[in-house]
Structure 1
Amino acid sequence: MTAGAFRALYEELRERCPRAPEDRRGALGHLTAERVVAAAAEVRSGRTVSLAAPIETLSGPDNPEPARHRMIAPAEGETGESGGDGLHFARDRFAMNVHGDADSHLDALCHVLFDGELYNGVPASSVTSEGAGALSVEVVRNGIVGRGVLLDVPRLRGVPWLEPGEHVTAADLTAAEAAQGVRVLPGDLLFVRVGHRPRRQERGAWNAAQARAGLHPTAVRFLAERQVAALGSDGNDDTAPSAVAGVDFPVHVLAVHAMGLHLMDYLQFEELTRACAREGRWSFLCVVAPLRLPSSTGSPVNPIAVL
């Protein structure tokens, strides 16, 4: 995709998704109270499924800055056969790089700086070393609750996973809808499976920053046409290498910056895929509850599908 074609697509999506100057919620505006109420009707079996992968604390080719987990209590002498005298507490400390290539996380609307701006013309200078002054993950402090839809592209193509570098197109998304008997509706939370996790488990980790499957930039038109409220993938949502010269993360630019879509990266769909196939349906109630980090550009996330 040429730089000119990408720029034209960027402007097209901005015009297709107009927002009031003061808007800070972006595509979540499609997720009305009425649509949340309707999403509750998706619950039939009452089964709950996590869409997150376990947080990893070991370094690897896709995780050079792993999360750090350290026990700070109990101290020596507070455990043992007798359990120590009196009351004691086990305590620990946790730190992570939110936007890595291994752990499940949500991108806030302040995550993408493009042409000196954030989403909806907010100055990029509002993000400093002290944190984000606008569009932080605090925007979704009340959670994201709605109808989730899983589109399984490897299932459509008859393969266990897409190979790094392969693109998901708008035609793939439409074909997956037809094959699975589901349709993405306005206000839905769309989850696109590329099979990143099972490939990683079977073949081992690789440098996902340089090679991964994801959406082609033109597939973002599908998201705009259907008025999707949020997007998640078991990859990064973006393909690597990029389809656009000079723009490493075109889907992030189009989705977050142009359309105001919160993204969820590196989720895990294997249990959900099995549950959906078993129940013969690919839509569900979904609850996304990021941590309340008032000036953060994102958060670890554990979306829950309720079938």
Structure 2
Amino acid sequence: MVIHRATAGMPRLTAAEFDALYKRLASATSWAKGERGSLVALTPGRVAAAARDVRPGRTVTLAAPVETSPGPDNPEPATHTMRNPPKQHADTGLHFARDSFAMNVHGDTDSHLDALCHVIYDGTLRGSVPASSVTPDGATTLSVEAAADGIVGRGVLLDIPRLRGVPWLEPGDHVTADDLGAAEASQRVRISEGDLLFVRVGHRKRRTAMGPWRTAEARAGLHPTALEFLAERRVAVLGSDGNNDTAPSSTEGVDFPVHVLAIHAMGLHLLDYLQFEDLVPVCEAERRWSFLCVIAPLRLPGATGSPVNPIAIV
């Protein structure tokens, strides 16, 4: 196996370079129109083809358990309370155990989907939609409701730590377009139009081994220029076990350049803070890195995102 070096020292993008990249990506993905954005690439034919590729039929979750304890990367943990729990000694009659949940959907711990109304950049949403369309009662367009019928298609996992021969990428390191191409070759898989691309940086494995840290200040992710690879291949969705963006940011004046480029310029829904540690050994055993993937976000009208439990069917 060829060991690829770390790319933490990648050059920063100036504001002008980022603006030029934004314009190239917006032009290259002009086909991803309307409220669904790049989800329009998930045609019935592609969904059916992905379903036909299922072999042993094993299902694997790509979500991490929802966390209810605070930590350096989880200052606003989800809350789970029991509502009117049945009395311990209520041994006659009918009773129901009931729950209530509340969570910060876009936190740095729980697995979630970013809708196209999530990113406001220079006063607009994707497609020059005015930012005022996001109201105190929710977004009037581009909300997670665009995925109400689910996101189903061919998923492909590119494992960058495996490519580099390391357990995980260190915080601040970048995944480049060259990394994505090299991972394809190493894993003998090719990203095609309409694919759901998942990029493993090893964030979850590092967190389990070393404990949580201030992820908002230091994390591995994609370099903004890697988005040109995605535009060329016309992927439908991008997901990672981090939040797709590197911290500190590599771009002058923009803290989350990958979010801006993917959601705002390209109309690409993002999946943040997934986990691939259950899927990797299955892919290795089957000697293939593609699978049918089913994502069913909650129907939350006007919401900017949703917690999700994506399922890979190998």
Tell me whether the two structures share a fold, i.e. TM-score over 0.5.
yes
Aligned to 2:58: 47
Alignment partner, residue 73 of structure 2: 62
Task: Give, as a single letter, the amino acid of the residue that structure 2 aligns with 1:79.
Answer: Q
Matched-pair contact (CA < 8 Å) for 2:217–2:247: yes
Instruction: Say which SS state the counterpart of residue 250 (structure 2) adopts.
Output: coil
- Provide the residue aligned with 1:188 in structure 2: 195
Q: Is the 8 A contact 2:32 2:266 kept in 1?
A: no
- What residue number does 1:8 align with? 20
The answer to whether the aligner puts 1:72 opposite 2:79 as a matched pair is no
Task: Report the alpha carbon displacement of residue 19 of structure 1 after superposing the two structures with TM.
Answer: 4.3
| In 1: Cα distance, 2:185 partner to 2:268 partner | 24
For the residues of structure 2 that align with 1:73 and 1:265, how far apart are their CA atoms?
34
Deviation at 1:242?
A: 0.4
Inter-partner Cα distance in structure 1 for 2:207 and 2:85: 35
| Identity within the alignment, % | 69
Output aligned runs, 1:101-180, within 5 Å. 101-180=108-187
Give the CA deviation at 1:128: 1.5
Partner of 2:9: none
Q: Does 1:253 align with 2:260?
A: yes
Residue number among 206, 210, 216 corresponding to 1:203 in the alignment: 210
Tell me the equivalent position of 1:300.
307
Among 207, 220, 244, the alignment partner of 2:227 is: 220
Give the Cα–Cα distance (whole angstroms) in 1 for the partners of residues 147 and 106 of structure 2: 17
2:41 matched residue in structure 1: 30
In the TM superposition, what is the alpha-carbon distance from 1:285 to its structure 2 partner? 0.2
Summarize the Cα distance change of 1:142–1:213 in structure 2 as closer, same or farther, 3 Å threshold: same
> Which deviates the most, 23-32 or 147-156?
23-32
Compute the TM-score of the two structures, normalised by the length of structure 2.
Answer: 0.95
SS state of the match for residue 157, structure 2?
Answer: strand
Over aligned residues, Cα RMSD in angstroms? Answer: 1.0
Deviation at 1:42, TM superposition (A): 1.9
Q: 2:249 aligns with which of 242, 250, 259?
A: 242
- State the AA in 2 paired with 1:304: I
The residue type equivalent to 1:299 in the other structure is S
Aligned counterpart, 1:288: 295
1:23-69: CA deviations, max 9, x gaps?
Answer: 11111111111111111122100100000000000000000000000
Shift of 1:84: 2.8
Amino acid at match of 2:285: R
Aligned 8 A contact 1:109 1:257 in 2: yes
CA distance in 2, matches of 1:179, 1:43: 22
Contact 1:126–1:134 (CA<8 Å) still a contact in 2?
yes
Map Cα deviations across residues 165-223 of structure 1 (whole Å, 9 max, x no partner).
Answer: 00000000000000000000000000000000010011100010010000000000011
Q: 1:20 to 1:268 in 2, by over 3 A?
A: closer
Equivalent residue letter for 2:158 = L
Distance 1:252 1:28 in 2: 16
SS at 2:278 equivalent: helix
The one-character-per-residue Cα deviations of 1:126-180 (angstroms, maximum 9, x if unpaired) are 0011111110000000000000000000000000000000000000000000000
Q: Residues 86-134 of structure 1: CA distance to partner in whole angstroms, max 9, x if unpaired? A: 1100001000000000000000000000011101111110001111111
Deviation at 1:298?
0.1
Corresponding residue number in structure 1 for 2:6: none
Following superposition, the deviation at residue 79 of structure 1 comes to 2.1
Question: Alignment length, in residue pairs?
Answer: 302
Runs of 4+ displaced beyond 6 Å: none
Alignment check: 8 A CA contact 2:32 2:40 kept: no
Letter in 2 for 1:44: R
Distance 1:54 1:35, change over 3 A: same
TM-score (ref. length: structure 1): 0.97
Shift of 1:73: 2.6
Q: How has the CA–CA distance of structure 1 residues 233 and 203 changed in structure 2, closer, same or farther, with 3 Å as cutoff?
A: same
The letter for the 2-side match of 1:11 is K
Counterpart code for 2:57: G
Secondary structure at 1:270 match in 2: coil
Amino acid at match of 1:174: G
Give the whole-Å Cα distance in 1 for the aligned partners of 2:67 and 2:218.
20
| Counterpart contact for 2:32–2:39, Cα < 8 Å | no
SS in 1 for 2:106: coil
Q: Tell me, yes or no, if the aligned pair for 1:19 and 1:120 is still in contact at 8 Å.
A: no
Query: What is the CA-CA distance between 1:20 and the residue it aligns to?
Result: 7.9
